[in-house]
Amino acid sequence: GAVVSQHPSRVICKSGTSVKIECRSLDFQATTMFWYRQFPKQSLMLMATSNEGSKATYEQGVEKDKFLINHASLTLSTLTVTSAHPEDSSFYICSAQRRGTANYGYTFGSGTRLTVV
């Protein structure tokens, strides 16, 4: 149990276009979903925390208008990179916390490698 599906796994887009990444909890309801960014050979950087039905909480330095997060249901959160530029190229990972499990690990998606050309 506790599977998180992240789609797409890999995407290449042209500079100036927008890309949407989906994070879906398949067999549980996710109270909270998190979006991370990981640069090559570096740790995960938390971008934002999203709770179902409310606005995402962004970390300092993360542009809200550039990284749009929507958490419309208890099983789906989306991250849209708007007007992507080459510096947005990175590995994006989502994670979800199962509803009712305050003290346990999060389940991560398999990640999305975004390349902006």
Give the up-direction half-sphere exposure of residue 93: CA atoms within 13 A in the CB hemisphere.
Answer: 16
Q: Is 29 in the site for another protein (CB under 8 A)?
A: no
Query: Contacting another protein (CB under 8 A), which of 17, 73, 110, 115?
Result: 110
Task: For another protein, give the closer residue by CB, 5 or 82.
Answer: 5
Mask: binding to another protein, 50-89, rule CB under 8 A, as x and -?
A: -x-----x--------------------------------
CA dihedral 62, 68, 73, 77 (to 10 degrees): -70
Residue 86 corresponds to which tokens in the numbers above?
Answer: 């080459």
